[in-house]
A and B are shown apart, each in its own frame.
With several copies, the nearest count.
Chain A
Amino acid sequence: MIEAPGLFDGWGGEDRAEAQDDALYLEIDGWEGPLDLLLDLARRQKVDLRTISILELVDAYLTYIEQAEALRLELAADYLVMAAWLAYLKSALLLPRDEAEDPSPEEMALRLQMRLQRLGAMREAAGRLMGRNRLGRDVFARGAPEGLRVDRKSLWQCSWYDLVRAYGDVKVRSEPVVHMVRERMVMTLDSAIQRVSSMLGVAIDWMDLRDFLPPAHDTWADPRLRRSALASSFVAALELARTGKAEIVQDETFGPLRLRAVKP
């Protein structure tokens, strides 16, 4: 467990301050950026971050950067940028105050100090957090829990009516579809040809197709049978015309069809 020191002294986490001074100058890669380095330098002053001298801190940072350069260590640009800014801050702090300056050097110094405090606080908090008794390392949950399981069991619901109705639906749906056409009386084409040709044989002049139909009484009164007879007689007339036994005329569209025999 990492010993957690006082909250505000800025010390925490790994105790790198114990490192030798010369080690410090070879450790440039060990810091996570200039703020981290500044915090480490601040810790070396061994004073509360709230009362730390920013001027001393700036000096420490600039000295460090100079030494690193003397050792020809490659410095990341942001370290140099920070160095330049700190040099500017230092001169602003030392020179007579320019009232127009905004923000004032003191304010900038204060902000830097506050940032270091925050980072220091989080670093220390991280140390204390990691040093807590941790589950799986210091304290343990039950090694072999039986586990809880809830088996969801469905209680299926279905009524007698649902069942029987479903069967009815299946039967209705799966019944073979049969188209029923009732047998009905018709005049066949053969009988129509016979009737028309025999009537034509005795006719003297043009005859309307409708006159070839049987008289409309008894069975032949049925309009459906009459329609069949008309259709069959028409086809018979066409057939007789095709075989050269009759000729057909129609004076106007949809007008009456007239037939007469072709004399051989």
Chain B
Amino acid sequence: MIAAEAPDDLVRAVEATLFAAEEPMSAEQIALHLGFGEKGAGQVRPAIAELARHYEGRGILLVERGKRWHFETAPDLAHLLRREKEELRRLSRAATEVLAIVAYHEPVSRAEIEAIRGVQTAKGTLDVLMEAGWVRVAGRREVPGRPVIYATTLVFLDHFGLGTLRELPGIDELRAAGLLDPVDEDMIEAVLGPANVRKTDEPESDPD
């Protein structure tokens, strides 16, 4: 009770730092900023935890997003604060679907996205998601053709209020049901019409 009323200097410093920061900060970044050096994260973590506790139930919360901390307004106040910003363009259905596929399957190639959706994905769809800062190129898959693979960003976690990708809605059930398993190319061929049926007629072409 008294601690909450009179936070110690470290807690105050972490509080001020996180309030003033323009971007979410990791414990390491906070420690570095406060002069604890690169290995000072352990020293600031208890202060972060105390702050998070202190703000529980208040109008603003200290939340962790991808191991980085920032203050944001309490979600239950959304109805009072909600603004439809113009920048928050409405994503097309295709774009939201691609975003979900990237998030639930990451890292994922464009071909894999297309296999799930059953249609070609316009280049522009991924561009829009990358421009929004939600999706990034995460390298190439080391298979023939070395396709580019995509993954989500920290901004994505921030924006959708996710601490980690494990907090994606329903991800555990989807995984348990096998619905996030790697896409089976032959299954696609089986579905996508005569050309593929001919292919699947060749026995044992299935690598699985």
Contacts and interface: CB of A to CB of B under 8 A. Distances in A.
A139 B161 contact: yes
Nearest to A130: B96
B207 interface: no
Contacts of A133: 75, 78, 161
A168 B191 CA distance: 13
Interface stretch (B1-9, B43-51, B143-151, B172-180): B172-180
Nearest to A145: B22
B15 to A, nearest CB: 12
Contacts of A102: 200-201, 203
Interface in A116-130: 117-119, 121-130
B171 to A, nearest CB: 6
A33 B100 contact: no
B89 A155 contact: yes
A149 B71 CA distance: 19
Given A140-B81, A145-B22, A170 B187 contact: no
Q: How large is the interface on B (under 10, 10 to 19, 20 to 34, 35 or more residues)?
A: 35 or more
B161 A160 contact: yes
A21 interface: no
Interface string B109-144: 000000011110000000010011010000000000
A64 to B, nearest CB: 16
Contacts of A169: 97, 183
Contacts of B38: none
Contact of B100 (A34, A163, A181): A163
B132 A154 contact: yes
B99 interface: yes
Given A163-B99, A177-B190, A137 B168 contact: no
Contacts of A216: none
B62 to A, nearest CB: 12
Contacts of A204: none
A263 interface: no
Nearest to B76: A133
Contacts, number: 302
Interface in B173-208: 173-174, 177, 179-180, 183-184, 187-188, 190-194, 196-197, 200-201, 203
Interface stretch (A107-115, A187-195, A247-255): A107-115
A179 B200 contact: yes
Interface in B76-92: 77-78, 80-91
A150 B79 CA distance: 10
B88 A137 contact: yes
B91 A130 contact: yes
Interface string B95-108: 11101110110000
Given A115-B118, A119-B117, A146 B73 contact: yes
B93 A134 contact: no
Contacts of A157: 88-91
Contacts of B187: 111, 114-115, 172-173, 177
A171 B80 CA distance: 47
Contact of A122 (B21, B71, B116, B160): B116
B64 interface: no
A140 B85 contact: no
B91 A139 contact: no
B74 interface: yes
B29 to A, nearest CB: 9
A125 B168 contact: yes
12 contacts: A122-B101, A125-B168, A126-B93, A129-B169, A146-B19, A148-B83, A149-B81, A154-B87, A154-B131, A156-B91, A166-B99, A224-B201
6 tightest A-B CB contacts, nearest first: A35-B118, A140-B20, A33-B119, A167-B100, A126-B100, A138-B78
